[in-house]
A and B are shown apart, each in its own frame.
Chain A
Amino acid sequence: MKPRIGIARALYSFYHFPLWRKFFEELDCKIVLSPPTTRKMLVDGVKIAPVEICLPIKAFLGHIALLSKEVDCILVPRMVCINPHRSAQPNKMCELKYGCPKAIGLPDMVKALFDNSTHILDLTIDERIMDQRQSFRKIGRLFSANNKKILQAWNSALIEQERYESLLLDGLRPSEIFSQDILEKNKSSTLHSFSDDAKYDSNVPRKRTQKNAEKIGLAQIESAKICVPKPQIGLIGHPYLIYDNLLSLSLFDTIEKLGVGIQSVSSVSNTTIDEEMKQISGVHWFYELDIIGSTAYFLKQKSIAGLLFAFSFSCGTSAVVSEIIREELLDFYDIPSITILFDEHTASAGLLTRVESFIDLLTRKPRAMSRL
């Protein structure tokens, strides 16, 4: 009888789910992924969670509440410290990056909120003490005594994660990849052979995403027979917010229906992010590097007419990151931007009004047109 491990379709699953799934499946476990967030799950999460905490954590707790009855144990990650340069040892301590406080305390929070019948599998990633392979080996020992098998599982998991990230660069959304098992179908499109020290970077060139987006835009123009170029906006926010249809109130679809193309944070490769982050020093939150790096990248693209930042209300790190972006990036470019805060009380009517007026601004403003 295979042990059933529950993984919430929330928070850090949007970054790391394929890695986790492949690793545990190779160790003969059955992975149960929760369904996309529903209103009931969010309501349950809001009832349990601390009042002031950010929306994605409330949703995460709702997922855990649903999973706790179905599985033997629930995987709760503890992202303490991560080395962003995966193939090399960091030279200095300040090159290491950290999760936000809630990421670090997540298993303790879940243990305090749920009773002893819910078993938590605490996956601690703290690269100050041991690298990720060793952390996974430690947790793998709970399921298998065979070290070679655990190492093979880790290697396969890394390949799976690479494929996932290359599909994200192509413009696919995480939920599509999770549910359709696209990774299986795309096995033949491995980009390079795996080695122990492989970087997570994909070899997919930046231009491929650009061309895709422009192709779609041109096709729509031809079908509509209107000579108005389709504007593109950069959508910046954590994947666990913007790709969750309920939490973001279908933000992606809302924007696309208004005739605008989207390039989101996931469409920027890790190498590009690393390159852009060389100019901004002193940011040590791992999950914010994508946000700042992709903003810096989008600002340089002539095809991007405006930036839409989607943050959660009470997201502590975004208060600081917004200021850094404003002072060190936005102030140097003449580009419209809007920040929208999401919480459990955000209504779709209000969101639509704001998005519509922003897009109106982009299509009417002469400067915006000249960037198209």
Chain B
Amino acid sequence: MKAAFAYMGNIYLPLRILFAELGIELIVPPSPNKRTLELGTQLAPETMCIPFKITLGNIVNAMEMGADTVMHTTGFWSCRFGYYGRLYCYILKDLGYKFHHFDVSGSRFKEHYQLVKSLTKNSDTIAFKSILKAMYKSWNKSNLMEFMEQITRNIRPFEIDKGKATRILNRYLKALDKISSIKVIKQLKKRFINEVNSIKKDLSRQPLKIKIIGESYCVIEPFVNFNLIQVLGENGILVDPFLTAHKWLGFHSARLGNPERKVIKKLAHPYWKYNVGGEDENAVGYSLLAAQQGYDGIIGLHPFGCMSSNAVQPVLQKISRDKNIPYLDIGIDEHTSETGFYTRIDAFISVLEKRRKMTY
């Protein structure tokens, strides 16, 4: 069984080993690029959101590379993310592909179990063991990936040799993708810490602190946000995205719950009562938290046309006025140009720097 896979940041890292341990080969297409976007835009309905178009491009690429199964989630809540799978299937069928589709949403656990059992010689013991082992290994990998990404983000504003932390991160992520033993993962972590400690830093700098909120795909996937997190970091700004690939897996896929989520929900409630998808409740909650924690500014990224993000904009602007924290919102679609995007970011950073000078 060869599963087609769609990108979202580095999520392929823990997922590849999860499926490999269960006997499913994950076909990882080229990471999102201009061609993926063109393909997705051509095939998708015009007013669908950009995450749909890019993930569709990825899946079609994966089908071209020999995948025979499409994995998708469904969900009966307000946002249209739950319909992605259905639309992928329509479009692939129209293109003439023969494929199976598999719903990976949590409510279908029995089906998942049956699938794994069929791949592991129809034995309950082996199936159960495989699932536990797969989850343990992928969780460890995901944790290390999150750790490395977070350290890199925190070091970038302080490094003297611009880009060094990113280069180290990329090397280690490549290495992490290849290993599958827990022992080696732990050794890799130690080596990473040593190497990162040896980077020359100027700790006297006082970088601006910016929170990035918005729709999960736009915040996590570098192709969509024009590599914003890396670029801002290398220009001396401490960037804190509210969501990363690891946290998305934890919040959404495994629903592990988190005391932080309860705090966010409680904070957001006076401003926004229901969670309608598209990370709107989180956007409101994390903005309030950022204001409390003294961040210099908030950048909100969302796909053009995202219903939930549009609905929550007035609330975020009110929070920005009430709490006196600058907020920049950018809607991204296939026509957004990198130059236009960074012009707005530059102007926003200038505003933050001037505000800082006025208060010091």
CB of A235 within 8 Å of the partner chain = no
What chain A residues lie within 8 Å of B45 (beta carbons)? 319-320, 322-323
- Give Cα A314 to B306, complex, Å: 8
- Give Cα A46 to B80, complex, Å: 25
Contact A98 B76 (CB under 8 A): yes
What chain A residues lie within 8 Å of B314 (beta carbons)? 50, 109, 112-113
Interfacial residues of chain B within 269-284, with CB under 8 A of chain A in the complex: 271-274, 276-278, 280
Of B74, B80, B272, B318, which contacts A105 at CB under 8 A?
B272
What chain A residues lie within 8 Å of B135 (beta carbons)? none
Task: Please name the residue on chain B nearest to A103 by beta carbon.
Answer: B78
User: Top 9 nearest A-B pairs by Cβ distance?
Assistant: A316-B307, A101-B276, A112-B314, A50-B313, A112-B318, A319-B47, A105-B311, A101-B307, A101-B308
- Give Cα A51 to B74, complex, Å: 29
Q: How many residues of B contact A (CB 8 A)?
A: 38
CB contact under 8 A between A100 and B78, given known A108-B272, A314-B47, A320-B87 = yes
Contact B280 A323 (CB under 8 A): no
- Give Cα A316 to B79, complex, Å: 9
What chain A residues lie within 8 Å of B76 (beta carbons)? 93-94, 98, 284
Interface bracket on A: 35 or more
- Give Cα A52 to B311, complex, Å: 9
Contact with B along A288-326 (1 / 0, CB 8 A): 000000000000000000000000011111111011100
Number of CB contacts from chain A to chain B under 8 A? 100
State the A residues within 8 Å of B (CB).
50-53, 78, 80, 93-94, 98-102, 104-109, 112-113, 282, 284-285, 313-320, 322-324, 327
Contact with A along B91-127 (1 / 0, CB 8 A): 0000000000000000000000000000000000000
CB of B360 within 8 Å of the partner chain = no
- Give Cα A318 to B306, complex, Å: 12
- Give Cα A253 to B304, complex, Å: 33
CB of B228 within 8 Å of the partner chain = no
- Give Cα A305 to B304, complex, Å: 35
Interchain nearest-CB distance for A207 vs B (Å): 35
Of A101, A315, A323, which contacts B79 at CB under 8 A?
A101
What chain B residues lie within 8 Å of A102 (beta carbons)? 307, 310-311
CB of B255 within 8 Å of the partner chain = no
Contact A52 B47 (CB under 8 A): no
Chain B CB within 10 A, most for which of A50, A106, A313: A50
What chain B residues lie within 8 Å of A315 (beta carbons)? 47
Contact B86 A324 (CB under 8 A): yes
Of A101, A313, A317, A324, which contacts B280 at CB under 8 A?
A101
- Give Cα A313 to B271, complex, Å: 27
What chain A residues lie within 8 Å of B311 (beta carbons)? 50, 53, 101-102, 104-106, 109
Interchain nearest-CB distance for A23 vs B (Å): 22
What chain B residues lie within 8 Å of A106 (beta carbons)? 311
- Give Cα A128 to B220, complex, Å: 33
CB contact under 8 A between A316 and B86, given known A93-B76, A101-B79 = no
What chain B residues lie within 8 Å of A314 (beta carbons)? 47, 305, 310
What chain B residues lie within 8 Å of A53 (beta carbons)? 310-311
Task: Please name the residue on chain B nearest to A53 by beta carbon.
Answer: B310
CB contact under 8 A between A108 and B315, given known A284-B76, A314-B305, A320-B83 = yes
Interchain nearest-CB distance for B317 vs A (Å): 7
CB of B331 within 8 Å of the partner chain = yes
Contact B86 A52 (CB under 8 A): no
Task: Please name the residue on chain A nearest to B277 by beta carbon.
Answer: A101
- Give Cα A178 to B272, complex, Å: 32
